[in-house]
Amino acid sequence: MSSINAQGGVQPASITTDEVIDNDHIEYLRAARNYSLLGQAIATMEEVMLLFTELSNAKFAQMSKKMEVSRDAQEMANKVEAVLAGITDPKDTKKLPQDVLDYLKANGISVDSVENLEGDLSQADLTAVKSALESFSGRASDFVQQSQLKMQQLIQNFNTAVTMANSLQSMNAESTKSIAQAIR
């Protein structure tokens, strides 16, 4: 092992070549841990893209649920319409099908003008129930339409993040190319 003598103040210090190599290795590792600004920016854009992806997936799940609610409510309104079609005399009364009653209860849909939904209902009462179901379906459908606009915004933001990440990668490539040319 060779040694290098160096004057450090009053007392001489002795450093071996193995210690110099170890110090160089430590400095190299420190440099490797320090990311470039462009690298950090690209990593940030990747995180932003992941965020927009997660937000879009969550919004899509909400939209799917509301579409199902809208379809189910419209299906129940159609069943009430079928009951209404069976009334020939305006004074006749009919009962709601059990699945319609269950749906109304499960979703908290109330009809203000009808006191007892489980009893015999007049044509006007059945029309009010049908209107309440159609209104419930319409609100769910409106939510889906508003969510589609939000999804478009999320997709635009995602595309902007992709464009920015691509620009950063191009800048990084140009920078690396310039450094390589300067070394030659």
For 2, the domain range is 1-34
Task: State the Rg of the chain over Cα.
Answer: 36
- Please give the average per-residue pLDDT across 79-103, as a whole number: 90
State whether 70 and 43 are in the same domain: yes
For residues 107 and 112, give the distance between their C-alpha atoms in angstroms, rounded to a whole number: 15
28 pLDDT more than 80:
no
Domain shared by 98 and 8, yes or no: no
The rounded distance, in Å, linking the Cα atoms of 102 and 84 is 19
CATH number for position 72:
1.10.287
Strands 3-8 and 11-16: antiparallel
The per-residue pLDDT for 29 is 53
Same domain, 21 and 108: no
User: Which tokens belong to 93?
Assistant: 């009364």
Q: In this structure, are 93 and 135 located in the same domain?
A: yes
Count of the separate structural domains present in the chain: 2
Instruction: Please indicate, yes or no, whether residues 55 and 135 belong to a single structural domain of this protein.
Output: yes
- The yes-or-no verdict on residue 7 having pLDDT over 60 is no
pLDDT at 8: 43
Residue 2 has pLDDT above 60, yes or no: no
- Looking from the CA of 7 toward its CB, the CA atoms found within 13 Å total 2
The answer on 68 and 24 residing in a single domain is: no
Helix (H) or strand (E) holding 16: strand 11-16
